């Protein structure tokens, strides 16, 4: 028998290994040989890696299988356990080392490919800047937060409306002069189809909501509106409003005023004072404009408030009983208030923006200021 035969091809008995120590010493020898061969592998040389794997884990000629055949199988029963355990350990070591080497070889191969293609992997990666929410969105969310905190819910409605919901049911009959300030876009539809328009305010949702539900109603309606206005620093043909409506059996002007004052202090700061100024809207009676003490001069008078000390915020009032007639509410039993504010206007007030058009131009130099 030749000693040149590798040890995994001779049985343990042939090698005189009868004790656990002797067997462990043989395993250690094989393991050291594997470690030497693995250390000699050139990173990135996948062919050499494959050869190493075949010579250790290959089915027919692999060292691990040979040990199974020549050491484990013929071993006497009392040695089987220890040989099996050591063989498993050796196999796990070989497998995990090969796995690591493969990952390294592949990475080195990829780096080599990148280097030969001229890509510089040391350059910083492409950073995609995180977007920010648009100031109109931020303002809408703040307005919603305030009203949600005092029991209002948010509802939304269609931007395309019938003249009935946009005008008539809000007590604005055809030929009423109030329509002049709210000229809008009409859809071009085949002759004979019912007229449809882009809503000029969010007020139609007052009607939709009251048609669908009985009092109590406490809603706000954020949404986009349209008017045939020429663009300037305070006008746009598309803009946003938030409508508010509270109707119940016991709502008085006091609730109305208290709610409005609470809202103004929450939105513009606790020192802000509120003023209700008589006004006119067809769907409220009495109607009021809500003014706030000027945020810039605190009411003393400055250029921003045109030396009035007050700035107009939004329109409002107690719901006109005529409106209840359109939704079959009992005007003798119930009462309520409503308001409608321009979201852009509120955003401009709050952030000191002087031109509404800036809100639509998507210039990142402008938008970046609202991070
Ligand atoms: N819809 C009105 C407009 O767009 C704003 C408004 C005023 C809404 C008074 C209301 C209100 O609900 O009570 O000009």
Q: How far apart, in whole angstroms, are the C-alpha atoms of residue 317 and residue 266?
A: 20
Distance of CA 72 to the CA centre of its chain: 61
Q: How far is the CA of 167 from the centre of ligand 1 (A)?
A: 12
Number of domains in the chain: 2
Residue 302 in any domain: the answer is yes
Q: How far is the CA of 302 from the centre of ligand 1 (A)?
A: 28
Instruction: Tell me which residue has its CA closest to atom 9 in ligand 1.
Output: 316
Same domain as 107, residue 25? yes
Question: Other C-beta atoms within 10 Å of 118: how many?
Answer: 6
**284 Cβ below 6 A of ligand 1:** yes
Q: How far apart, in whole angstroms, are the C-alpha atoms of residue 265 and residue 180?
A: 33
How many residues make up the chain in this entry?
Answer: 371
Same domain as 196, residue 309? yes
Residue 205 in any domain: the answer is yes
Which residue, of 58, 86, 117, is where some domain finishes? 117
Same domain as 251, residue 200? yes
CATH code: domain of residue 273? 3.30.930.10
- pTM above threshold 0.85: no
Which residue, of 64, 84, 117, is where some domain finishes? 117
Q: Which range marks the domain in which residue 144 is found?
A: 135-370
Residue 130 in any domain: the answer is no
Q: How far is the CA of 299 from the centre of ligand 1 (A)?
A: 25
**337 Cβ below 6 A of ligand 1:** no
Q: b vs e for 303-339, b when ≥16 Cβ sit within 10 Å of the residue's Cβ?
A: eebeeebbbbbbbbbbbbeebbebbebeeeebbbbbb
Which residue, of 88, 117, 146, is where some domain finishes? 117
At 189 the pLDDT is: 93
**203 Cβ below 6 A of ligand 1:** yes
256 near 286, Cβ under 8 Å? no
The tokens for 195 are 């007229």
Q: b vs e for 32-66, b when ≥16 Cβ sit within 10 Å of the residue's Cβ?
A: eebeeebeebeebeeebbeebbeebeeeeebbbbb
Same domain as 107, residue 167? no
**135 Cβ below 6 A of ligand 1:** no
Q: pLDDT digit of tens for each residue in the chain (371 aa)?
A: 456 788 999 999 998 888 999 999 999 999 999 999 999 988 777 888 999 999 999 988 899 999 999 999 999 999 999 999 999 999 999 999 999 988 887 887 777 777 788 888 788 888 887 888 999 999 999 999 999 999 999 999 999 999 999 999 999 998 888 888 888 999 999 999 999 999 999 999 999 999 999 999 999 999 999 999 999 999 999 999 999 999 999 999 999 999 999 999 999 999 999 999 999 999 999 999 999 999 888 889 998 889 999 999 999 999 999 999 999 999 999 999 999 999 999 999 888 898 999 999 999 999 989 88
Same domain as 94, residue 39? yes
């Amino acid at each position: 028998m030749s000693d040149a035969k590798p040890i995994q091809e001779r049985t343990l008995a042939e090698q005189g290994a009868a004790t656990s120590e002797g067997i462990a010493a043989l395993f250690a020898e094989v393991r050291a040989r594997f470690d030497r061969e693995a250390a000699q592998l050139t990173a990135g040389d996948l062919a050499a890696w494959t050869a190493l794997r075949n010579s250790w884990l290959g089915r027919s000629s692999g060292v691990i299988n040979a040990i199974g055949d020549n050491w484990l199988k013929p071993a006497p029963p009392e040695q089987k356990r220890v040989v099996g355990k050591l063989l498993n350990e050796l196999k796990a070591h070989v497998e995990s080392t090969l796995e690591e080497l493969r990952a390294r070889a592949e990475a080195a191969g990829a780096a080599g490919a990148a280097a030969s293609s001229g890509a510089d992997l040391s350059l910083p990666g492409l950073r995609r800047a995180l977007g920010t929410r648009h100031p109109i969105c931020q303002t809408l969310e703040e307005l919603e937060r305030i009203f949600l905190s005092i029991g209002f819910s948010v509802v939304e409605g269609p931007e395309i409306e019938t003249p009935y919901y946009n005008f008539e049911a809000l007590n604005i009959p055809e030929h009423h002069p109030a329509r002049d300030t709210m000229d809008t876009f009409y859809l071009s539809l085949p002759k004979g189809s019912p007229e449809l328009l882009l809503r000029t305010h969010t007020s139609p949702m007052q009607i939709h909501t009251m048609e669908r539900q009985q009092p109590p109603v406490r809603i706000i309606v954020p949404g986009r509106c349209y008017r045939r206005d020429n663009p300037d620093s305070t006008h746009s043909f598309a803009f946003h409003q938030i409508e508010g409506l509270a109707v119940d059996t016991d709502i008085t002007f006091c609730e109305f005023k208290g709610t409005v004052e609470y809202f103004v202090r929450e939105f513009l700061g606790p020192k802000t004072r509120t003023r209700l100024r008589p006004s006119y809207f067809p769907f409220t009676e009495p109607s009021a404009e809500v003014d706030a003490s000027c945020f810039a001069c605190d009411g003393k008078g400055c250029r921003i408030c045109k030396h009035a000390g007050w700035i107009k915020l939004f329109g409002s009032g107690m719901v006109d009983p005529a409106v209840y007639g359109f939704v079959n509410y009992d005007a003798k039993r119930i009462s309520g208030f409503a308001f409608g504010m321009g979201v852009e206007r509120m955003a401009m007030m709050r952030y000191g923006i002087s031109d509404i058009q800036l809100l639509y131009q998507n210039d990142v130099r402008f938008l970046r200021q609202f991070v």
